[in-house]
Amino acid sequence: MSEPRRVALALGSGGARGFAHIGVVQVLEERGFEIAAVAGSSMGALVGGVLAAGRLKEFTDWAVTLKQRDVLRLIDPKWASPGAMAADRLINHLNDFLTGTEIEHLPIPYTAVATDLVARREVWFQRGLLSSAIRASIAIPGLITPVVVGGRLLADGGLLNPVPIEPTAAAAADLTVAVSLQAPRPVQETAGPVRATAAPQRSGDWRERLRQVFGRSGPGGDIVPGERAVDVALPGDLRIADVVTFSLDAMQDMIARYRMAGLPPDIRIAVPVDACRVLDFHRAAEMVSLGRDLATRALAAAGR
């Protein structure tokens, strides 16, 4: 019997970490796997859509050249709008790759998952303009403005389905590979509630935790007399994007674990949440390399 080679691919949400999806696809293709179907939320919808359209190489060649100034131009800040950024320039640039492509004409079956904010339900785009479906799916609440498609107010698909395996369930595939952008928690850090005290603590008790989160010695504020951590300023480099994405990552991690428990993939590849910030699109080359490394290890562990 020949080795299973047809893969249904579920690509998760998580901003710029989603460039790791490209590395995963590269490794699968290099090893002779055929992508039989792809579904994605948010950045997973973007990478999956370009893949399904057969334009992943051109997209990757462009993405790895992005600098921070290029990213700022593409995301098009709109500070007075329902989101901080419009991302219209990014979608216009994607149109250069997609040229009016319709989902039903793609060579690979594709689903972009978005969230209907009013009806509080998933929307699966499997027909219509690919660029419009991607734009709806990438609308990170608070950061990228939502859109209206078909009378629905739509935002990031990761709100309800961070790693959309379900749309690929009917695919004629031998394996399901899911790529989550919320890596499992460390063994010492469970998902259960933490019983904590709101009483003042010595500075050493909280500095190490902030160091793990922000990758430096601690917050930018001064410690009150006696080194009691009551009146400490927030970290000096904490941005609204960080607060929004930390919140979304916490929510999506929980949702993804419950949903994948009900429909587990054959192979799960997990990208650490601290690999990069959600808007660090200028780190594409680094994320592609990380995706390649994680995919290689996951396939080896699965004997593939």
Among 76, 116, 156, 280, the active-site one is 156
Integer Cα distance of 22 and 271 in angstroms: 12
Respond yes or no: is residue 42 known to be catalytic. yes
| Closest C-alpha among 73, 300, 268, 55 to residue 177 | 268
Among 13, 41, 42, 137, the active-site one is 42
Tokens of 38: 């792809």
Taking each continuous run of H as one helix and of E as one strand, the counts in the chain are 9, 8
**Cβ–Cβ < 8 Å for 27, 55:** no
Strands 34-41 vs 6-11: parallel, antiparallel or unpaired: parallel
CA–centroid distance for 235 within its chain = 24
Respond yes or no: is residue 156 known to be catalytic. yes
- DSSP strands (E only) in 209-274: 267-270
Local structure of residue 41 (DSSP, 8 states): E
- End-to-end alpha-carbon separation of the chain, Å? 15
Integer Cα distance of 279 and 98 in angstroms: 23
Query: Which sequence positions are flagged as catalytic?
Result: 42, 156
